[in-house]
Structure 1
Amino acid sequence: MSHNETDSIRIQTRSDQREHSSPIYLTSSFTFESAEQARAMFADEIPGNIYSRYANPNSSDLIEKVCAAEGTEDGIATASGMAAMFGSIASLLQQGDHILAARSLFGSTHQLLTRVFPKWGITSTYGDISDYLNWEQLVQPNTKMLFIETPSNPGLEIIDLEWAGNFAKAHNLILVVDNCFATSYLQQPAKWGAHLVTHSATKYIDGQGRVIGGLILGTKELIKEVQFFTRHTGPSLSPFNAWILTKSLETLAVRMDRHCDNALKVAGYFEGNSEIETVRYPYLKSHPQHDLALKQMKAGGGIITLTLKGGGARAQRFIDQLRMVSITPNLGDTRSIITHPASTTHSKLSPEERAQVGISDGLVRLSVGLEHVDDIIKDVEQAIEKSK
C-alpha cells in the first residue's frame, strides 16, 4: 500500500496518448459508440463519462486522489467550498430534520444553518465544545446530523474526533466534518467515524489562490445520495479547475510541511509579545486543546490568530501597517494573508455570537505562507510597533 503523498502524485486518468501529466478534458459532453451504450450508461449499468455536469476525467482524478488521502470510499467535486457544505446537508436532510452543530463554524456555514435551511423546515442547535456532556441533552428526536469543523475558523478550536464519532454512532447521526484547515495530509476524520468529510478546495488544496472548488467525500452509500442531488442541482466543478486542483495535490504534502513549520515558528515568536493579548495555534503548548491536536493532527496547520491589545481600532491599524502580508479573505495561499474576522468573514454574526466563538474585535487571523519565516516575522513585528 502506497503512502498518501505518493497517491496524490501518481493517481491519474490516462488516455491512449501516453501523456505523463494529466491532460485537461475541456468538453461539456462525451460521445457514445452506440445507442445501446448510451442507454446502458444512463442506466448506470456500465461505467463511463456522459456529461461534465455528472462527471469528467479531471474531476474523477481529483476525487480519487483525495479519497485515497482521506481514507474515504467515494466523493463529489463541487464548484466551491460552500457548495460542498450546502450539498452535504441538503442532499441528506428533509423538512422536519434537525442538525446539531458545533458553535464554532465558518461564517457562511453559520448563515446556512440559521437563515437558509430554516426556510425549508430544517432546524439546528449549537453545542459548546467546552461541555461535551451537555450535548446529550441537545439531541432531539428529529436530530439527523452532527456537523463540526476542526480546527475551527477562525478560533482554532479543536474538537475531539474520537468523541464525535462515538457520539454520532450512539445517536445514529450522520457525522459531517469540515476538514478544510487541516487538510487530508494532517488529519483524516473518516478514521474517527466521520461519514462525510468536506473541503473548501479553494484553500490549501489549491494553495496558490487561483481557483475555487469544493469536495464532499465519504461512504459510497451516502455519496450516492449526494451525487443524485449535485447532478440535478448543478454545482459541478469545471474541468479546468479540477485539473488545477489535481495538479496542486501533487505538492500538498511539501507545502503543508512548510506552512506548519513557519506557523509554529511565527506563533512561538510572538507568544510573549507585550502588545499581544493571546496567540493561538494548535501545536503551541498554551493552546487549550494542545494534547488533542497532537492526538489527531500530524502537525498544527498554517493558521494562527493574534489578539492585539487595543481592540478593533488597533487591529485595523496593525493590518494597515503590514507591507508584505496580503489583506484578503482567502487563506492557505503560498502568500501570507491577514484577515480581521469581526469586520469581514464573520461580520454577519452579532457581537454576542462572535463572543461565543471567541472572535473579539482585536483578533486577526494570519494565514502563514511559504515565504522565508524571518521575512514574515519581520513584517508582523514592524506592523505591531507602528500600530501602537
Structure 2
Amino acid sequence: METGSYHDVRYIRLNNTPNHASLHAQLRAMEGAEAALVTASGMAAISTALLSVLSSGDHLLVQNGLYGGTHDFIAGDLPKFGITSTSIDATDPSSWEAHLRPNTRAIYVETMTNPLLQLADYEAVAEFSRRKGLVSLIDNTLATPINFRPIERGFDLSLHSCSKYLNGHSDIVAGAVLGREEWVNRVKHRLDHLGGSLDPHACFLLSRGIKTLALRLRAQSQSALEIARFLEKHPAISRVNYPGLESHPQHAGPGSSSSALVEC
C-alpha cells in the first residue's frame, strides 16, 4: 500500500478525516481563503495561531479592548514563552509606527471587540502589516464571513470561535483558522503537536450549522438592531454599545471597510 506523507494518514488527531476535509472546504469557500483548519475551540485557534506566528523574543501589536480570554493569553501566558506585546488604538493608524520594535512580528485585532463592540481600521491594519512585513491576524467571530471577509481585505489569518454563530445550535465547542496556505499549514503543524483537534462528529454538526448561517444571522442582526434602538431610548439605560446605532462613536467606521461592516 502506497502512502503519501504522515499527514495523509486518516488519524483523527491530525484533523484529516473525510469530515474534516469536507468542513475545511466549506470554510475556505465561505471566507475566500486558501486554506482552513478547524480546532477544538476558539481559544485553541487563537492560542495555536499566535504560537505558530510568534517565537521567543518576538513582539506583538494588539488592539486594546480584546476578548478577555485572548487578552489573558497574550498578557499572562505569552510572556512565559518570551513573547511581549503592546496595546494599540486600532482606529488610529498614525499611532502604530511608534509602537513598532525591531522584533515586532505580528498585529492582532478583532472585527468587533468582545464585549464592547469597538471597531478597527481594517484596511489600514492589513496595509500596515504588508508594508512592515508583519503577519496580520483577526478574530472574525462576531461578524462571521456573512458580514465581513478579512482575507479579501488583505489579512493573513482569520480566526473564529465556531461555537457561536457559525454553528448556531449551542451543542459543540469548536474553532477555526483560515487564510494563506503557508500560515495555516504552520498552524496545523503546531496544532498536531498541541492536540487541539476537533472530533469528526463535531465537524459534521458544525457543517450542519453553517448551512443556516445566512438565514440565522440576518434575523439575529435585525433583532439586535431593534433591541439596541429600544434600549437606547429606555430611561434606565445610560449607554448602548452597538455599531449599528448612529450614536456609536464608530458608526461611520474609521475606514471604508468598517462602514461596509456596519451597513451589512
Q: What's the TM-score bracket when you normalise by the shorter of the two chains?
A: over 0.9
| Mapped partners of 1:123, 1:215: distance in 2 | 24
Does the Cα contact within 8 Å between 1:100 and 1:125 map onto a contact in 2? Answer: yes
Computing the radius of gyration from Cα coordinates, the structure with the larger value is 1
Query: Counterpart of 2:27?
Result: 66
Query: Counterpart of 2:5?
Result: 41
Summarize deviations over 1:168-219 as a string: whole Å, max 9, x none: 1111110000000000111001111110000000111111211000001111
Deviation at 1:297, TM superposition (A): 4.7
Q: How does 1:94-173 map to 2 (within 5 A)?
A: 94-173=55-134
| Unaligned residue ranges in structure 1 (runs of 5+) | 1-33, 300-388
> CA separation of 1:129/1:220 partners in 2, compared to 1, >3 Å: closer, same or farther?
closer
TM-score by length of 2: 0.94
| Mapped partners of 2:91, 2:122: distance in 1 | 14
One-letter identity of the residue aligned with 1:138: H
Q: How does 1:267-346 map to 2 (within 5 A)?
A: 267-292=228-253, 293-297=258-262, 299=264
| Mapped partners of 1:230, 1:130: distance in 2 | 32
| Mapped partners of 1:50, 1:152: distance in 2 | 37
Root-mean-square deviation (CA), in Å? 1.3
Query: Counterpart of 1:234?
Result: 195
| Unaligned residue ranges in structure 2 (runs of 5+) | none
> CA separation of 1:160/1:130 partners in 2, compared to 1, >3 Å: closer, same or farther?
closer
Task: Say which is worse superposed, 174-183 or 132-141, in terms of deviation.
Answer: 132-141
Query: Counterpart of 1:216?
Result: 177
Task: Say which is worse superposed, 241-250 or 125-134, in terms of deviation.
Answer: 125-134
| Mapped partners of 1:226, 1:194: distance in 2 | 16
> CA separation of 1:297/1:284 partners in 2, compared to 1, >3 Å: closer, same or farther?
closer
Deviation at 1:66, TM superposition (A): 1.3
State which of 191, 196, 215 in structure 1 corresponds to 2:152: 191
Does the Cα contact within 8 Å between 2:91 and 2:119 map onto a contact in 1? Answer: no
| Mapped partners of 1:298, 1:243: distance in 2 | 32
One-letter identity of the residue aligned with 2:259: L
Deviation at 1:104, TM superposition (A): 1.5
Deviation at 1:129, TM superposition (A): 3.0
Query: Counterpart of 1:50?
Result: 10
| Mapped partners of 1:118, 1:92: distance in 2 | 15
Summarize deviations over 1:266-306 as a string: whole Å, max 9, x none: 1111212111111121111111111224323553xxxxxxx
Summarize deviations over 1:71-105 as a string: whole Å, max 9, x none: 11001110000000001110121110000000121
Task: Say which is worse superposed, 226-235 or 211-220, in terms of deviation.
Answer: 226-235
| Mapped partners of 1:120, 1:197: distance in 2 | 23
% identical aligned pairs: 35
Name the SS for the 2:252 alignment partner: helix
Summarize deviations over 1:110-169 as a string: whole Å, max 9, x none: 111111110010111000235332111001110000000021000100111111111111
Does the Cα contact within 8 Å between 1:66 and 1:184 map onto a contact in 2? Answer: no
| Mapped partners of 1:166, 1:201: distance in 2 | 27
State which of 35, 50, 59 in structure 2 corresponds to 1:89: 50
Pick the structure with more helix per residue: 2
| Mapped partners of 1:253, 1:282: distance in 2 | 20
Does the Cα contact within 8 Å between 1:104 and 1:149 map onto a contact in 2? Answer: no
Deviation at 1:50, TM superposition (A): 2.4
One-letter identity of the residue aligned with 1:53: R
The number of equivalent residue pairs is: 259
Task: Say which is worse superposed, 270-279 or 150-159, in terms of deviation.
Answer: 270-279
Name the SS for the 2:155 alignment partner: coil
